[in-house]
Structures are given as structure tokens and as C-alpha cells.
């Protein structure tokens, strides 16, 4: 992964701007899931390393804008760029990383460049949909799945498919693998927002609900409670919750199996991902699914 | 130009999202300088129309983010997208137009795709530099020119150069033409912010100074006034100006030839642009320079 980090830095260095490089180095590094995925599928070619670095730059750009949209002060337990330098700097740094990634992408094969850039268009459309859905209590599961497909799964799907292109593998099955991995990843993230404490998350617990996001466990819960409880849940939407409210939400989610069934939904997606690549005999890809589902942060 | 508008809409329609299309149609249409330039240089090929539409999408995206950064409520006399739908929607719509443009760009020759995407990286770096320079009273002319080169000229330079690539023309001379045209364009814009009334501008007059931008006329003025007046000018920096303050700034700029010399600077850039393409015998390109310099909004 060191080579990917180095390439990312080199791409940013092409701008020949010390301040930008300094800002870039302050961005909390992530799990680099997309880069690992690309290298495991495409193999360790120069183009694969480049693609991995580009996709991680693009992903970092999307998180910079995401944190502005969500008014997030923390990212992976560290202060977010917007909390240190303000929204304006975050927006611009995001644009810089996006366009640096796109410029580097033009050196890769045309089908790879299209796949990745098209996914970014979907990703941005997904962010916009997320903002729209968060304006009121969304109780539509289909819209939630469409939104997380665009917002999270599209870039993981494109990473997987474009890595298959570079590695000369069957693109279609890797596309299915990536899409299901991406959807499962987001569902797990949404579950962890509820089940984990804020220390582990590196951000406040139950933050999604405060931000107007009714993720899968909320959608299940809402369907499974009576009119009075529905009214109570709606009254807490987007509010600062006290400890009693938090406990009530978490307990009712446990009692109604809303958390278990969300977990089961993610596991099913993981199973579909594994099914699609079962003939590829690549243990790393099964490990990625397992680690992603059974993670606790 | 109708064909360019149609192509832009079609590119946005690939996302298959009614709300996005609706937002897109609410963006005030501009002068389409970059599209005209591309068609005049590359000729009316399918690729030239595509490039023109892509560059205008990218330019529109940059303005959406620009208006968020500048807290601009008006754009070309109409309400800006951020003033109607809020900053979050503007940021996301900008990302959507950027990435849709980049995805379409992958269908064009690799050298064209690189030139344009690299310019967007410079453009974003220029926006960031603009934000940084605006934090205090910048009296450094070199930094101002570097900033407007990146922020405004780089995409016009890339439009001109990549159109020359498509049209099989001498790329180098069109690059020089585009760069000087772009620099002159921004200097003229900065002059008009001072000389024109708000009706004509479609935004408040002397808005730049309020936003912390010491454009060329301010840089000249600051150099040409004595210590007491320097102090007065600094005291007005970023403040809401009353009519007396406005008149004082404008009059002192006239008396010190700061406006005339800024105009002369733009004319000189225009002359360099014309010089570089003098053997191309393309009257349209001379007309673009003339119209751009002698415009009043």
C-alpha cells in the first residue's frame, strides 16, 4: 500500500503547490479498501497501482465534500479538514483532488477512464439524493438502496470492474462482486453508527439520525412499531438525543430484530458478492467480504 | 450554439435523474465564450461540439462552487443556485457537472482529455489561492497574476489548445492565444466590477473588494497613494462601503490612472494573443479579443 500512498502524493505534487500538498497530508488516511480491492483483482502492474492511487484520490475528494455537506467535525477520529480549515478550503481541496485524479486517469485505457469517471457522476448524484432524502423522514427502502448504490457502491463497483479490465478478467462478474460489496459496506457502516460507541466510531453515535438519515435499521424499526411509537420516533428525528432517547431507539431496534435483519441483509449481499466470483479462486476477495462484514469500526 | 446547449443537456440526461436536470436548467446560461472559441478554432466537427459542451459543463460546475465560496447571491443578474437551493445542493450539482463532463471527456482523444482535466486541477488550485489571498490585503501583483492565470486563464488556454488539437492546428500558438485571452478576460472582469453599476453587472458593484479581492486596479492604486491614503484604503478592506467610500475609491483610481493602466494591461495581453495567431488568418479570433476587451458587462 506504500506505493499507492507515494503515487497519490506524486499526483498531488504535479500541481507544484506547497500549501495544497500540506493540506493533502493533513487528510486522515482511510482503510484504502478500494485500493486493496483493485490490486487484488488487477495484480501488481504499474497501471493497477496508478488506478488504485487515482480511485483513492477521488474517494478522498468525495469525503471532503461529504464532510462539508454533513457538517462533520470528525473523520476517522481526527479533526476533519473542514473543521480545521473551513468549508471553503475543503470544497476547493476536494475539487483539486477530483481533477488531479481525473487528469491522471486519462493515462489509463479509455474503458477504465470512462468506468471510473462515470461512477463519480453517480456518486455525486447519490450525495445529492442523500441531501434530498434527509430533508424529511424517508420511509422508502427502495430510495435508500438506490441512494447508497449511487453514493457508496458505484465507485466500489467501478473499482472492481476497472481492475478486472486492467487484469484481463471477466468484467461482468467483478462488477456484480463490487456492487454487492459496496452495498454491504454501506449497510454495515449504517449499523455501526447505531451499535458502536463514539470512541470506536471516531464520531458521535447515532449521528445519522441527527443528520436526517433513516438508514436500514430505522426503516425496519419504523415498519415494526405501532402508531404511538412511530409518532415518538418521528419526534426524535433530527433532534439532539438524550441518553434515554438513545437507549429507547437501540433497545427497540434490538427487540424488533431491526438490527439483526439489517445485518442479515448485509450478509446476503456479501453472499451474492462471493457467489459471483466463486470460480475465480481468489481467497483475498472472500477475505475482503468477511473482514468488511465482521468489522466493528 | 444551440447544438452545444443540446449536447450539454444530453450529457446531464445520461444520469437519468429528473431533479438534477431540473436544477441544471435553472443555472443562468453564460456568454459561452469557451464554446465559441473551441468551435472557431476546431471547426464544426462532432468532436468539437462535444468538447465545447464538456468545457461549458465544467465551467458551469466551477461557477457553482465559486458562488458558494464567494457567498454570491446573484449570477448574471439572476438568483444563483446557492441562493435558491442552498450551498449543499450547489456543491453537489457542481460535482455532478464536473464528473459528467469528465466522463464525456474520455470519449475524446487522450491528449485533449488530459489537457482539459489538467486545466481543471489548475483552476481549482487557483480558486484555493484566491481564497487564501483574500484573507488579508494582498499587495503582490505577481501572486494576483498567478492566481488569475490558474483560476480563469488555464481553462481558456486549454480550450484553445485542445481545440487546436482536434482541428489539427499548431497547438503552441493557440495555447499562447488562449492564455493571454484568459488573463485579459479576467482583468477586464475585475475592472468592470469597479466601473459598472450593479444593474449592468448583475451583482453589487465593488463586490470584489468586499470579498477581500485586491484586483489589479486596487494593486495599482495602493502603490500610487501616500501613507495616509494607504491607511484609509486598508480600513475599507472587506467592509460594507457607503456611497462616499465608493466614490473616493473610484475617483482616486481615475486620478492615479489605476483604471486606465489596468485597461492598458488587458489591451497588451490582447495584443499578445493576436500576435501569436497573426498568421492563422482567422478573423473570428481577432473579433473575440476585440469584443472581450471592449465589452461593458
User: Do the Cβ atoms of A128 and B93 come within 8 Å?
Assistant: yes
Q: Would the pLDDT of B17 be above 70? A: yes
Rounded CA gap, B30 and B7, in Å? 16
Rounded CA gap, B31 and B1, in Å? 10
What digits encode the pLDDT tens for the residues A186-198? 999 999 999 987 6
Secondary structure letter of residue B278 according to DSSP? G
Give residue limits of the domains in chain A: 1-108, 110-297
What digits encode the pLDDT tens for the residues A110-149? 999 999 999 999 999 999 999 999 999 999 999 999 999 9
Number of H helices, E strands in chain B: 17, 2
Q: Across chain B, what does the average pLDDT equal?
A: 93
What digits encode the pLDDT tens for the residues A43-81? 999 999 999 999 999 999 999 999 898 877 777 777 888
Rounded CA gap, B234 and B229, in Å? 8
User: Do the Cβ atoms of B17 and A127 come within 8 Å?
Assistant: no
> Exposed (0-12), middle (13-18) or buried (19+): which is B137, by Cβ within 10 Å?
middle
What residue of A is the nearest CA neighbor of B146? A17
Q: Would the pLDDT of B243 be above 70? A: yes
Helix, strand, or coil (residue B122): helix
- Please tell me the pTM assigned to this model: 0.92
Q: What value, to the nearest 5°, has the Cα angle with vertex A214 and ends A209 and A218?
A: 95
Q: Across chain A, what does the average pLDDT equal?
A: 93
A and B: number of Cβ contacts within 8 A: 131
Of B65, B106, B117, which has the smallest distance from its Cβ to A114's Cβ?
Answer: B106
- How many residues are given for chain B? 297
Greatest Cα pair distance in chain A:
60
Q: Are B256 and B225 in contact (CB under 8 A)?
A: yes
User: Do the Cβ atoms of A69 and B89 come within 8 Å?
Assistant: no
Of A19, A107, A131, which has the smallest distance from its Cβ to B88's Cβ?
Answer: A131
Residue position matching grid coordinates 419504523? A222
Interface residues on B facing A, Cβ-Cβ cutoff 8 A: 14-15, 17, 19-20, 62, 65, 68-69, 87-89, 91-96, 98-100, 102-103, 105-107, 110, 113-114, 117-118, 120-125, 127-129, 131-132
What digits encode the pLDDT tens for the residues B120-163? 999 999 999 999 999 999 999 999 999 999 999 999 999 999 99
pLDDT at residue B72, as a whole number: 76
Q: Are B96 and B224 in contact (CB under 8 A)?
A: no
In this structure, are strands A78-79 and B78-79 parallel, antiparallel, or unpaired? unpaired
Average pLDDT over residues A271-289: 93
Chain B partners within 8 Å of A17 (Cβ): 125, 129
What digits encode the pLDDT tens for the residues B21-57? 999 999 988 889 999 999 999 999 999 999 999 999 9
Residue position matching grid coordinates 499562447? B176
Q: What are phi and psi of B131, to 5 degrees?
A: -60, -45
Q: What are phi and psi of A124, to 5 degrees?
A: -70, -40
User: Do the Cβ atoms of A110 and B114 come within 8 Å?
Assistant: no
Element (H, E) at B251: helix B243-255
Selection from B17, B112, B59, B28 nearest residue A123 by Cα: B17
Chain B partners within 8 Å of A106 (Cβ): 105-106, 110, 113-114, 117
> Exposed (0-12), middle (13-18) or buried (19+): which is B244, by Cβ within 10 Å?
exposed
CA distances from A50 to A7, A63, B11, B110, B174 (A): 7, 20, 27, 16, 31
Higher pLDDT, A292 or B72: A292
- CA-based torsion, A277, A281, A282, A287: positive or negative: positive
What ranges in A225-257 are assigned the alpha helix state H? 227-236, 243-255
pLDDT at residue A85, as a whole number: 84
For an interface test with B, the pick among A62, A92, A135 (most B C-beta atoms closer than 10 Å) comes out as A92
Q: Are B113 and A109 in contact (CB under 8 A)?
A: no
Selection from A38, A63, A290 nearest residue A178 by Cα: A38
Average pLDDT over residues B202-227: 91
Helix B154-166, helix B171-195: angle, nearest 10? 150
Q: Are B193 and B201 in contact (CB under 8 A)?
A: yes
Q: Would the pLDDT of B297 be above 80? A: no
- How many residues are given for chain A? 297
For an interface test with A, the pick among B16, B91, B105 (most A C-beta atoms closer than 10 Å) comes out as B91
Residue position matching grid coordinates 471527456? B105
Q: What value, to the nearest 5°, has the Cα angle with vertex A31 and ends A182 and A180?
A: 10
- Cα distance from N-terminal residue to C-terminal residue, chain A: 20
User: Do the Cβ atoms of A127 and B20 come within 8 Å?
Assistant: no
User: Do the Cβ atoms of B102 and A102 come within 8 Å?
Assistant: yes
Q: Would the pLDDT of B199 be above 90? A: no
- The DSSP secondary structure of B18-49, one letter per residue, reads HHHHHHHHTSPP---HHHHHHHHHH-S-HHHH
Q: Are B156 and B179 in contact (CB under 8 A)?
A: yes
Of the listed ranges A5-9, A157-161, A182-186, B72-76, the one predicted with least confidence: B72-76
To the question of domain A110-297 being in CATH 3.40.50.720, the answer is no
Average pLDDT over residues A152-160: 98
Of A88, A95, A124, which has the smallest distance from its Cβ to B92's Cβ?
Answer: A124
Selection from A70, A73, A52, A50 nearest residue A62 by Cα: A70
CA B14 to chain centroid: 27
Q: Are B166 and B42 in contact (CB under 8 A)?
A: yes
Of B15, B69, B121, which has the smallest distance from its Cβ to A91's Cβ?
Answer: B69
To the question of domain B1-108 being in CATH 1.10.600.10, the answer is yes
CA distances from B151 to A65, B3, B60, B66, B285 (A): 20, 27, 13, 10, 22
What digits encode the pLDDT tens for the residues A6-51? 999 999 999 999 999 999 999 988 889 999 999 999 999 999 999 9
Q: What are phi and psi of A212, to 5 degrees?
A: 90, 10
User: Do the Cβ atoms of B91 and A69 come within 8 Å?
Assistant: yes
Q: Would the pLDDT of B166 be above 90? A: yes
Q: Would the pLDDT of B177 be above 80? A: yes
What digits encode the pLDDT tens for the residues A220-255? 999 999 999 999 999 999 999 999 999 999 999 999
CATH annotation of B109-297: 1.10.600.10
Count CB atoms within 10 A of the CB of residue B250.
Answer: 17
* Identical fold, B1-108 and B109-297: yes
Chain B partners within 8 Å of A69 (Cβ): 88, 91-92
Amino acid at each position: 500500500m506504500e506505493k499507492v500512498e507515494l503515487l497519490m502524493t506524486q499526483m498531488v505534487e504535479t500541481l507544484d503547490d506547497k500549501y495544497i500538498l500540506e493540506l493533502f497530508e493533513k487528510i486522515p488516511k482511510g482503510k484504502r479498501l478500494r485500493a486493496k480491492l483493485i490490486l487484488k483483482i488487477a495484480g501488481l502492474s504499474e497501471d493497477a497501482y496508478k488506478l488504485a492511487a487515482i480511485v483513492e484520490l477521488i474517494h478522498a475528494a468525495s469525503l471532503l465534500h461529504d464532510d462539508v455537506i454533513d457538517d462533520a467535525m470528525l473523520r476517522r477520529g481526527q479533526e476533519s479538514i473542514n473543521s480545521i480549515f473551513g468549508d471553503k478550503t475543503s470544497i476547493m481541496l476536494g475539487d483539486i483532488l477530483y481533477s488531479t485524479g481525473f487528469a491522471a486517469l486519462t493515462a489509463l485505457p479509455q474503458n477504465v477512464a470512462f468506468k471510473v469517471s462515470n461512477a463519480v457522476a453517480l456518486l455525486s448524484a447519490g450525495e445529492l439524493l442523500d441531501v434530498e432524502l434527509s430533508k424529511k423522514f424517508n420511509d422508502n427502502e427502495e430510495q435508500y438502496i438506490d441512494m447508497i448504490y449511487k453514493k457508496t457502491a458505484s465507485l466500489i463497483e467501478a473499482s472492481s470492474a476497472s481492475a478486472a479490465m486492467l487484469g484481463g478478467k471477466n468484467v461482468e462478474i467483478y462488477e456484480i462482486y463490487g456492487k454487492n460489496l459496496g452495498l454491504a459496506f454501506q449497510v454495515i457502516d449504517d449499523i455501526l453508527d447505531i451499535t458502536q460507541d463514539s470512541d470506536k466510531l471516531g464520531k458521535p453515535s447515532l449521528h445519522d439520525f441527527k443528520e436526517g438519515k433513516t438508514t436500514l435499521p430505522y426503516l425496519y424499526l419504523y415498519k415494526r412499531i405501532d402508531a404511538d411509537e412511530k409518532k415518538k420516533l418521528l419526534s426524535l428525528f433530527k433532534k439532539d438525543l438524550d441518553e434515554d432517547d438513545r437507549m429507547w431507539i437501540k433497545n427497540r431496534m434490538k427487540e424488533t430484530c431491526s438490527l439483526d435483519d439489517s445485518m442479515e441483509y448485509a450478509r446476503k449481499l456479501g453472499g451474492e458478492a462471493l457467489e459471483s466470483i466463486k470460480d475465480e479462486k481468489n481467497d483475498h476477495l472472500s477475505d475482503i467480504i468477511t473482514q468488511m462484514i465482521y468489522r466493528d469500526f
